[in-house]
């Protein structure tokens, strides 16, 4: 059976982009693959986190994976930091990663911005930790959003460099697995920025645990423009916010936008927004209810996470031992 690995940073409330760009794809893949899914709490540390909130967000992220339909029988769910092999392998891989590769990473450039010298080293070496996350589990593919493609590519480069340096094939070169048309969900306030759980404006995103009224209000206030609803795809050109709302509708309903152009084309935005709010509320209702149930039954949740940690640890430990043997670390 093929294996996949993926994760989400536990930096806040999981949002619609995390669901449509990542979790929903994992759910589709879980019947035919072995899944290792983690909450990336070590990655979260590249931005200062309130300690209590970080611990809570990590548990909530894993509960949300289950609430979105991940099966505890099919997947190993675990917090990244509970498998110490991630950080250990990262150091070894750092010694096989060129600065040139890191300098090309667009995420560092975007996140560090003009304050490059003030940015912490973790933000810069983040791709090496992500390579370690992936390579430890030898997955065939990594289902993530478009924005993470470059990170999977560098993980392949690092794996190849390591394998060549020692004349081994210990690491499998993982494939990037992007899925579906609406992999990039944009902010409700700015159609050119990605919807993000750490955007200071809560109104910019739909959180997966938002209640129906909050969702309705956020969609009502979502930015559009002074025009009317488009009647065809050409009329969406240069209108990123409008395109984004249409994409969200189509991604959630798995429908083609054609019927939206027919139903709402030429009208003011409010009827479409009402319909979109309904779609969001009804799609997220079962997720929110299951999430609340899981969070109210901590023993069960912690037991599922404990099982996931055991399974992940067994695989990670084995790979790290192989690597240590190859590179000649002292065994005693
Ligand atoms: N807006 C999005 N559209 C599509 N996919 C998205 N993902 C995140 N936002 C969107 C996908 O979710 C997975 C995990 O992302 P992450 O949380 O580890 O990092 P991120 O991409 O930086 O997500 P956020 O919400 O923006 O996090 P913060 O605010 O912490 O930086 C990935 O597969 C990603 O593609």
What are the pLDDT digits (tens) for 22-37?
999 999 999 999 999 9
Return the sign of the alpha-carbon dihedral for residues 129, 131, 137, 143: positive
| 310 pLDDT tier (thresholds 50, 70, 90) | very high
State in Å: Cα 194 to ligand 1 middle. Answer: 8
Q: What is the pLDDT of residue 331?
A: 87
N-terminal to C-terminal alpha carbon distance within the chain: 36
Query: Does ligand 1 lie within 6 Å of residue 145's CB atom?
Result: yes
Enumerate the active-site residues.
Answer: 111, 194, 197
Equal fold, 2-183+298-327 vs 210-292: no
Q: 144 CB less than 6 Å from ligand 1?
A: yes
Q: Are 160 and 38 contacting, i.e. CB atoms less than 8 angstroms apart?
A: no
> Is 18 near ligand 1, meaning CB less than 6 Å away?
yes
- Taking the centre of ligand 1 as the mean of its atom positions, its distance from the CA of residue 17, in whole angstroms, is 7
Contact 3 CB / ligand 1 (< 6 Å): no
* Domain 2-183+298-327 class in CATH: alpha beta
* Closest Cα to atom 22 of ligand 1: 196
Q: Is the pLDDT of residue 179 over 80?
A: no
**pLDDT mean over 285-296:** 98
**Residue ranges of domains in the chain:** 2-183+298-327, 210-292
For the chain, percent of residues with pLDDT exceeding 70 = 99
Rounded mean pLDDT, 204-229 = 98
Residue 73 has pLDDT above 90, yes or no: yes
Distance 332 CA to ligand 1 centre (A): 42
Q: Is 194 in the pocket of ligand 1 (CB under 6 A)?
A: yes
Residue 181 reports pLDDT greater than 80: no
Domain spanning 210-292: which superfamily? Tyrosyl-Transfer RNA Synthetase (1.10.240.10)
Say what the pLDDT of residue 147 is: 81
Of all residues in the chain, what percent carry a pLDDT higher than 90?
A: 91
- Judge if the beta carbon of residue 70 lies within 6 A of ligand 1: no
Banded pLDDT at 182 (limits 50, 70, 90): low
Query: Residue 114 — very low, low, confident or very high, per pLDDT cuts 50/70/90?
Result: confident
Tell me: pLDDT of 183 over 90: no
Mean pLDDT of the residues in the chain: 96
| pLDDT, position 279 | 98
Closest-CA residue, ligand 1 atom 14, reads 8
The yes-or-no verdict on residue 47 having pLDDT over 80 is: yes
Average pLDDT over residues 242-248: 96
Q: Whose CA is nearest to atom 15 of ligand 1?
A: 8
Instruction: Give the per-residue pLDDT at 180.
Output: 63
Q: What is the DSSP string of 26-81?
A: HHHHTTTEEEEEEEEHHHHTTS---HHHHHHHHHHHHHHHHHTT--TTTEEEEEGG
Paired residues of 4 in beta bridges: 35, 141
Long-range contact set of residues 49-55: C-beta below 8 Å, sequence gap at least 24: 49/11, 54/10
Q: At residue 239, does pLDDT exceed 70?
A: yes
Mean pLDDT of 126-149: 94
Distance 8 CA to ligand 1 centre (A): 7
Residue 226 confidence (pLDDT): 94
Within the chain, how many helices (H) and strands (E) appear? 14, 5
């Amino acid at each position: 059976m093929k294996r996949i690995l993926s994760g989400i940073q536990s930096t806040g409330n999981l949002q619609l982009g995390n669901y449509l760009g990542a979790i929903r794809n994992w759910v589709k893949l879980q019947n035919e693959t072995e899944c290792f899914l983690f909450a990336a709490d070590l990655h979260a540390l590249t931005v200062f986190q309130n300690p209590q909130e970080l611990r809570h967000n990590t548990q909530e992220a894993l509960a949300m994976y289950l609430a979105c339909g991940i099966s505890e029988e099919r997947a190993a769910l675990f917090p990244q930091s509970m498998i110490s092999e991630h950080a250990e392998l990262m150091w070894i891989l750092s010694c096989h990663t060129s600065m040139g590769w890191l300098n090309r990473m667009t995420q560092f450039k975007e996140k560090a911005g003009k304050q490059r010298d003030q940015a912490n080293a973790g933000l810069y070496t983040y791709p090496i930790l992500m390579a370690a996350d992936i390579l430890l589990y030898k997955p065939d593919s990594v289902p993530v959003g478009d924005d993470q493609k470059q990170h999977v590519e560098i993980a392949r480069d690092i794996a190849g460099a390591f394998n060549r340096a020692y004349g081994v094939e210990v690491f499998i070169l993982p494939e990037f697995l992007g899925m579906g048309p609406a992999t990039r969900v944009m902010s409700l306030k700015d159609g050119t920025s990605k919807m993000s759980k750490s955007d200071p404006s809560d109104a910019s995103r739909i959180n997966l645990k938002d209640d129906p009224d909050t969702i309705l209000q956020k969609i009502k206030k979502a930015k559009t423009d002074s025009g009317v609803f488009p009647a065809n795809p050409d009329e969406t050109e240069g209108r990123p916010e409008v395109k984004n709302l249409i994409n969200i509708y189509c991604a959630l309903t798995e429908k083609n936008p054609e019927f939206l152009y027919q139903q709402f084309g030429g009208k003011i935005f409010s009827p479409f927004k009402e319909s979109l709010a309904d779609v969001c509320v009804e799609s997220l209702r079962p997720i929110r209810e299951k999430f609340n149930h899981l969070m109210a039954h901590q023993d069960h949740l912690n037991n599922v996470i404990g099982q996931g940690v055991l399974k992940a640890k067994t695989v990670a430990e084995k790979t790290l031992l192989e690597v240590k043997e190859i590179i000649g670390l002292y065994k005693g």
